[in-house]
Amino acid sequence: MGSYELNKILRYHRKWLDDEPGKRRAILQDADLRSAYLRGANLRLAILRGADLRGANLFAADLRGADLQGADLRGANLLDADLRGSNLRGAKLE
């Protein structure tokens, strides 16, 4: 997925979180997000089930309540990421 498309999804997701017009929840199920730059991204309550996030930069990302079931997070930078309440069942974290 290209950075332009990803940034657009993040903008719509922010509107969804804030209940603004033009809102759309980030549904990135099975998305190829390898090496994506998501530093500080607000992905709270996003659907990332089965997403490939290997090597992604998720430094200080807000992933509270996100569905990361089965996601591949190997090699991802999760330093200071907030994963409270996230579904990590079956996620690859090693």
Residue 1 pLDDT > 90: no
pLDDT at 57: 98
In this predicted model, what pLDDT tens digit does every residue of 43-72 receive, in sequence order?
Answer: 999 999 999 999 999 999 999 999 999 999
* 11 occurs within a structural domain: no
Non-local CB neighbours of 49 within 8 Å, separated by 6+ positions = 29, 30, 67, 68, 69, 70, 71, 87
* 21 occurs within a structural domain: no
* 8 occurs within a structural domain: no
pLDDT at 48: 98
Number of domains the chain contains:
1
Q: How many residues does the chain have?
A: 94
* 52 occurs within a structural domain: yes
Give the structural domain span for 88. 26-94
Q: Give me the CATH number covering residue 45.
A: 2.160.20.80
* 10 occurs within a structural domain: no
In this predicted model, what pLDDT tens digit does every residue of 14-48 receive, in sequence order?
Answer: 999 999 999 999 999 999 999 999 999 999 999 99
